[in-house]
Amino acid sequence: MNFTKDSFGPNFSWGVSTAAYQIEGAWNEDGKGPSVWDVFSNTKGKTHKGQNGNISCDFYHRYEHDLSIMQGLGIRNYRFSLSWSRIIPNGIGEVNTKGIDFYNRVIDTCLNYGIEPWITLYHWDLPHELEKKGGWTNREVIDWFANFVQVCVSHFGGRVKHWMVLNEPLVFTGAGYFLGIHAPGKKGLKNFFAAAHHAALCQAEGGRIVRSMLSDGHIGTTFSCSSIHPFSPSKNDEMAAKRVDVLLNRLFVEPLAGLGYPVHDLKLLQRFEEVVKDGDEQKLAFDMDFIGIQNYTREIVASSRLTPLIWAKVIEANKRKVETTEMGWEVYPESMYEMLLKFSKYKNFKEILVTENGAAFPDILENGVIRDVKRKDFLTQKIQQVLRAKQSGVNVTGYFVWSFTDNFEWAEGYRPRFGLVHVDFETQQRTIKDSGRWFSGFIRDDS
Ligand code: FCB
């Protein structure tokens, strides 16, 4: 490795990321209301082996221990999300003091340990009571969300500077309201376009609310993204790749950047007309202080007459004889560089951060040690691509590993392990993996 953390300059934020539903457990304790993920994962047949996040890493009770491990590793930035239904059990209305107390304790513990909290307001766990009213497909979600954001900022804004509005809107609307493979398990284009438009409006509105309440806040939102490469140099495959790029990479960032939905490059998006109201185009735009990109892999795309509307298909990595992670995602470090360059072209955001990056590999715990060389190599190569982008002039200012501990990987359950710290889900024992020790050494001030 021919670079150190100093190659990134003194103000670069190195950190780790988690999400409430994936780690907290305590799903029905201390007044918490159910979220769509509580309901979905406790419904038969929805997740790998019927697993759920009812207990997960039990972070709700073990946060202090976990944060002390984080501190011991010298990690100075922690991105985590707030569970909406722990704070407002019905989504709207009464605030649950015990939920507020919990996040106060987490924030205070971080600050005592010299760890800067970075809050994601929404990481996919909509209150179930709101889903009963249509959830993200109901335009009223804009008011429900605005109220939630105000409650959070009014309680935590004095101590938390860094805020992210949404986590990967394409994934929770696409997987949750179109494909039905994530909570709440709805399907179809009608649901998708309604949910996507309302999420895009909330993304900007959330930013406006945080800024109006915190003049010195550092405000952003996050996007999933992957390089999209054509299967062959043929015109058809190139056009197919371009259409998939619109859907996977451009759909949510462009309206935020004031460019509107990229309808001209994907006719299917004309269906937004069903839900867009007069004046919405302005409301979709907001000049975030930063955007967070979350990059794991790339996609290879071929044209396909069998896939209506998008006329393209993704050629799975396992059919291409390439190295993959346990998620079946191709290991392709350059995707990080390509995405940083691509997203830096949107001029109205001052900074870009990598708010998630990491890999699941099968870990073997032997005599208290996990020699996860593949994860360490994966992270090293990705970080090198971040440096390459920085040296090409991209204002990339941070990098967060997904994830701090192993956790509940949504519909995939507990099988994929992304952590720098191993969790034995039977005993709740934590074991720092070799990759965790390596990351710790890499980011330490004295390294
Ligand atoms: C991202 C999600 C995160 C985690 C990783 C592996 O899409 O934001 O919660 O599941 O993928």
Which two structure tokens, joined as six digits, stand for 58? 């039990």
Taking alpha carbons only, the member of 58, 108, 169 closest to residue 406 is: 58
13 in a domain, yes or no?
yes
Residue 337 lies in a domain: yes
Task: Please indicate, yes or no, if residue 304 is contained in any of the structural domains.
Answer: no
Whether residue 435 contacts residue 420, with contact meaning beta carbons closer than 8 Å, is answered with: yes
Total domains, the chain: 1
Tens-level pLDDT at each residue, the chain (447 residues): 789 999 999 999 999 999 999 999 999 999 999 999 999 999 999 999 999 999 999 999 999 999 999 999 999 999 999 999 999 999 999 999 999 999 999 999 999 999 999 999 999 999 999 999 999 999 999 999 999 999 999 999 999 999 999 999 999 999 999 999 999 999 999 999 999 999 999 999 999 999 999 999 999 999 999 999 999 999 999 999 999 999 999 999 999 999 999 999 999 999 999 999 999 999 999 999 999 999 999 999 999 999 989 999 999 999 999 999 999 999 999 999 999 999 999 998 999 999 999 999 999 999 999 999 999 999 999 999 999 999 999 999 999 999 999 999 999 999 999 999 999 999 999 999 999 999 999 999 764
- Sequential DSSP letters for 49-83: GG--SSSTT-HHHHHHHHHHHHHHTT--EEEEE--
Instruction: With respect to residue 212, please indicate whether it lies within any of the assigned structural domains.
Output: yes
Question: Per the domain annotation, does 309 fall within a domain?
Answer: no
Q: 139: domain CATH number? A: 3.20.20.80
| Pocket probe mutation, ligand 1, options 409, 417, 420, max atoms within 8 Å of Cβ | 409
Quick check: is 41 in a domain?
yes
Q: Which domain holds residue 33?
A: 5-228+248-297+328-443
Residues enclosing ligand 1, CB less than 6 A?
A: 19, 22, 167-168, 171, 224, 294, 356, 402, 409-410, 418
Would you say 99 and 30 are in contact if contact means Cβ atoms under 8 Å apart? yes
Please tell me the distance from the alpha carbon of residue 294 to that of residue 154, in angstroms, as a whole number: 28
Threshold 0.85, pTM exceeds: yes
CA of 327 to the centre of ligand 1 (A): 11
In a domain, 302, yes or no: no
In a domain, 241, yes or no: no
Q: Please tell me the residue having the least CA distance from ligand 1 atom 10.
A: 409
Number of CB atoms found within 10 A of residue 4's CB: 11
